[in-house]
Amino acid sequence: MAAALIVLVIIVVLVVIIVAKSVTLVPQAQAAVIERLGRYVKTVSGQLTFLVPFVDRVRAKVDLRERVVSFPPQPVITQDNLTVSIDTVVYFQVTNPQAAVYEINDYIIGVEQLTTTTLRNVVGGMTLEETLTSRDSINGQLRGVLDEATGRWGLRVARVELKSIDPPPSIQESMEKQMKADREKRAMILNAEGMRESSIKTAEGNKQSQILAAEGAKQAAILAAEADRQSRILRAQGDRAAQYLRAQGEAKAIEKRFAAIKAGRPTPELLAYQYLETLPEMARGEANKVWLVPSDFGSALKGFAKTLGVPGEDGVFRYEPSAADADLARPEDDSDEVADWFETKTDPAIAKAVAAAEAVARQPVAGEEPRAVHQAVPQPQIPVAPPAAPQPPVPPQPEGGPRQQYPPLP
């Protein structure tokens, strides 16, 4: 009974072993390479596979997903004999499990060694500066060489990246010093450029300022000269008009005075009184120290009265106007000719020139915003009536003409 039980257990164990050997499950994204009696039969992936017990076996299961393998830093000598340490990352995928199993012993080690040799070959033809600045070029060359070399291994290299390129510490320190010197140099250059631009702008501003100042001085000189000229002209015209009016007034005063004298028929007593009134005015001068009155003063007045007067019924000499005084020609009336002498309106040509000069002086400076300029409001001109036509003075009557007879005074 015990022997039969042992035999049964052995049979069950054999059946289990046979079943386990005859069935295998291959997950998705994996491939199983199956051999029969040591010879490749087929490759299965993502399914339940039945095997012939003790005849078929799974040689290897290969992951079909893209793999990322990071290799340790590799020392590489550049063209300028500097040793740099470079870390690489390779992205690859198994596309042919059979070749990956039978063509190479360990494709990961193969990819690593191939990457190291290719990297040394590529970087060996570059200087340190080219190596640090040519990552894309190195990545492209590595990927091309690896993809071509690993194709027969059933691999496809998708990308190759350089994680880091580390030069020796002494070189790093030298590079940092060089970069610092370059930055300081650029800073000094920028500072010099800024000072140069500032000096240029300042010089241009001074130039523009001097030009504007010269233009302003020129305009001011022109306006001052024009104002002085106009002032002199107006002052001369005013002096001319004043002299004319003064002469006209003196002529009118003389005319009135002589008319009054003639109408009053003065006597020697009146002439003596007028003479005595004039003596203090004659003696008022500062240079007059001594004033002498002639002793024959009365005789002089008497002779003057006899010359100009006519004795009346009472024997007193009185002035009698000549009859020819009424026939004398009056001075010519020149009121219309001298009317513009008293004109006070501004000359339109001068006003136009002054306005043009002010417009030029108020032009805005180039590069600045225009400013509001207060325009001068023209003052209304107050019309001034021309002076009345001057009356011509009445000239004195000649002695030899006819005299006008006046009734004797009571």
User: Which DSSP string corresponds to 36-77?
Assistant: ETTEEEEEE-SEEEE--TTTEEEEEEEE-S-EEEEEEEEEEE
Q: With respect to residue 129, please indicate whether it lies within any of the assigned structural domains.
A: yes
Residue 80: CB atoms within 10 Å: 11
- Mark whether 90 and 78 lie in a shared domain: yes
Place of tokens 């002779």: 303
Domain boundary among 145, 167, 189: 167
Q: Which two tokens stand for residue 231?
A: 């002032």
Lowest mean pLDDT among 66-75, 125-134, 300-309, 370-379: 370-379
Q: With respect to residue 278, please indicate whether it lies within any of the assigned structural domains.
A: no
Q: With respect to residue 327, please indicate whether it lies within any of the assigned structural domains.
A: no
Lowest mean pLDDT among 73-77, 275-279, 379-383: 379-383
- Mark whether 94 and 144 lie in a shared domain: yes
Question: Structurally, how many domains does the chain consist of?
Answer: 2
Higher-pLDDT residue of 155 and 357 is 155
CB 69 within 8 A of CB 112: yes
- Mark whether 14 and 34 lie in a shared domain: yes
Q: With respect to residue 145, please indicate whether it lies within any of the assigned structural domains.
A: yes
Q: Is residue 43 classed exposed, middle or buried when 0-12, 13-18 and 19+ CB atoms within 10 A define those classes? A: middle
CB 233 within 8 A of CB 241: no
Q: With a threshold of 0.85, does the pTM exceed it?
A: no
Q: How far apart are CA 93 and CA 154, in angstroms?
A: 9
Q: Is residue 241 classed exposed, middle or buried when 0-12, 13-18 and 19+ CB atoms within 10 A define those classes? A: middle
Domain boundary among 167, 182, 217: 167
Q: With respect to residue 92, please indicate whether it lies within any of the assigned structural domains.
A: yes
- Is 227 a residue whose pLDDT tops 80? yes
Residue 133 belongs to domain with CATH number: 3.30.479.30
- Using pLDDT thresholds of 50, 70 and 90, give the confidence band for residue 373: very low
* Phi, psi for residue 124 in degrees, rounded to 5: -65, -20
- Mark whether 89 and 160 lie in a shared domain: yes
Q: With respect to residue 97, please indicate whether it lies within any of the assigned structural domains.
A: yes
Query: Which domain range does residue 44 map to?
Result: 2-63
- Is 378 a residue whose pLDDT tops 50? no
- Mark whether 20 and 75 lie in a shared domain: no
Q: With respect to residue 404, please indicate whether it lies within any of the assigned structural domains.
A: no
- Mark whether 6 and 75 lie in a shared domain: no
Domain boundary among 107, 134, 167: 167
Q: With respect to residue 279, please indicate whether it lies within any of the assigned structural domains.
A: no
pLDDT 10s digits, 381-404: 444 444 444 444 444 444 433 443
CA distances from residue 189 to 148, 184, 199 in whole angstroms, order as listed: 50, 8, 15
Contacts of 395 (CB under 8 A, 6+ apart): 328, 331
- Mark whether 101 and 33 lie in a shared domain: no
Q: What is the dihedral of CA 263, 264, 269, 274, to 10 degrees?
A: -80
